[in-house]
């Protein structure tokens, strides 16, 4: 299996995980994008998935990325300029209420948007009507494809949450705040979500990959990025650094600190 290393992000020079790019490549690779397609990318952030999908759509393709939070658009716009792409745009929008006419897109993608606010993946039932998937169905052309990506397991984050919970005083902090916004979803749950919305030909793919951080300090910086807000709100977490670094050294190999991440991808076709 190939290894994927931590990388340094430009322009900040901060250590960043490259797994977002890696899994964006996966969904773009798996989805069928016709030449000249119109692509909508939900929860686009900086267009990470959108730009990769656009490579398949070619110069006659059109792409728009929408996000409820516009914090990544600046980087996305910069990319459109540096790559000379006049056929890519970004808009702030809630995926539950898409401001596009019906039957506009050939492909709708949504990587790691998260369906856990609408669907209970433990009890396998809807928490409320799935207006978001209904909107995706509406804006897709007949024969168009939806593709969503979701976390099945992030072993490093699960291990970290477990380690923090063991060491923090009971009921303090972690019982009040979730440590990360990462929630596990399931293949079966996402199949149900797509079929219930009316999609046909539902297909599932699972990708597990090992990610390597070169040393303990780099790994710790990455984990702090993942749970960044909580380091501000829960000062006790920084005090656990020494304990965590000793514990995590069991995941050290000759290459560095290795953890697996498993992602599910679900695709469906509008009848």
Ligand X SMILES: C[S@@+](CC[C@H](N)C(=O)[O-])C[C@H]1O[C@@H](n2cnc3c(N)ncnc32)[C@H](O)[C@@H]1O
Shortest reach from residue 41's CB to ligand X, in Å: 7
Alpha carbon of residue 80 to chain centroid = 21
DSSP structure string for 66-102 = EESSGGGHHHHHHHHHHTT-TTEEEEE--TTS--S-T
Burial of 135 (C-beta count, 10 Å sphere; 0-12/13-18/19+): buried
194 vs 244 by CB, closer to ligand X: 194
CB of 114 to ligand X, least distance (A): 6
CA distance 97 to 203: 26
Which residues are within 8 A (CB) of 202 and not within 5 positions of it... i.e. 6 or more apart? 191, 194, 195, 266, 267, 268
Nearest distance, CB of residue 267 and ligand X, angstroms: 16
Residue 198 token pair: 């009316």
- Residue from 6, 24, 57, 108 that binds ligand X (CB under 6 A)? 24
Among 48, 145, 154, 190, which residue sits at the site for ligand X (rule: CB under 6 A)?
48
Q: Which is nearer to ligand X, 87 or 96 (CB)?
A: 96
Scan for tokens 């953890």, then name that residue.
259
Task: Give the CA angle between residues 11, 238, 209 to the nearest 5°.
Answer: 60
Chain positions 81 to 100 lying near ligand X, rule: CB under 6 A, are 94-96
Name residues whose C-beta falls within 8 Å of residue 228's C-beta, 6 or more positions apart in sequence: none
Nearer to ligand X, 17 or 256 (CB): 17
| Contacts (CB under 6 A) with ligand X, residues 107-136 | 111-113
In the DSSP assignment, the letter for residue 43 is T
73's enclosing H/E stretch is helix 73-82
Q: Work out which of 49, 64, 192, 216 binds ligand X, going by CB under 6 A.
A: 49
Closest separation in Å from C-beta 179 to ligand X: 15
Nearest distance in Å: CB 239, ligand X: 28
Site for ligand X (CB under 6 A): which residue of 68, 124, 127, 131? Answer: 68
Among 16, 18, 20, 116, binds ligand X (CB under 6 A): 20
> Are 92 and 66 contacting, i.e. CB atoms less than 8 angstroms apart?
yes
Minimum Å gap between C-beta 115 and ligand X is 10
Sole window of 60-68, 196-204, 232-240, 251-259 interacting with ligand X (rule: CB under 6 A): 60-68
Nearer residue to ligand X within complex by CB, 20 or 220: 20
Whether the CB-CB separation of 225 and 14 falls below 8 Å is answered with yes
Pairing of strands 119-120, 125-126: antiparallel
Shorter beta-carbon distance to ligand X: residue 180 or 252: 180
List residues near ligand X by CB under 6 A: 20, 24, 42-45, 48-49, 66-69, 94-96, 111-113
């Amino acid at each position: 299996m190939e290894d994927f290393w931590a990388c340094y992000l430009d322009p900040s020079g901060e250590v960043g995980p490259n797994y977002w790019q890696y899994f964006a490549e996966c969904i773009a690779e798996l989805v069928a994008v016709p030449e000249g397609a119109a692509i909508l990318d939900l929860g686009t952030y900086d267009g990470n998935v959108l730009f990769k999908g656009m490579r398949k759509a070619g110069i006659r393709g059109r792409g728009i990325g929408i996000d409820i939070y516009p914090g990544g658009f600046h980087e996305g716009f910069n990319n459109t300029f540096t790559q000379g792409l006049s056929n890519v745009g970004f808009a702030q929008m809630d995926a539950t209420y898409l401001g596009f006419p019906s039957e506009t897109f050939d492909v709708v993608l949504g990587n790691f948007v998260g369906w856990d606010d609408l669907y209970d993946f433990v009890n396998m039932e809807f928490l409320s009507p799935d207006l978001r998937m209904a909107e995706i169905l509406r804006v897709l052309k007949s024969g168009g494809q939806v593709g969503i990506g979701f976390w099945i397991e992030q072993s490093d984050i699960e291990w970290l949450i477990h380690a923090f919970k063991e060491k923090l005083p009971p009921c303090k902090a972690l019982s009040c705040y979730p440590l990360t916004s990462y929630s596990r979803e399931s293949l079966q749950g996402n199949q149900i979500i797509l079929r219930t919305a009316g999609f046909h030909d539902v297909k599932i793919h699972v990708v597990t990959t090992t990610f390597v951080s070169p040393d303990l300090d780099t790994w710790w910086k990455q984990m702090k990025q993942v749970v960044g807000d909580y380091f501000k709100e829960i000062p006790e977490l920084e005090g656990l650094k020494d304990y965590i670094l000793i514990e995590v050294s069991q995941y050290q190999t000759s290459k560095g600190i290795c953890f697996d991440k498993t992602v599910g991808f679900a695709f469906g076709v509008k009848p």
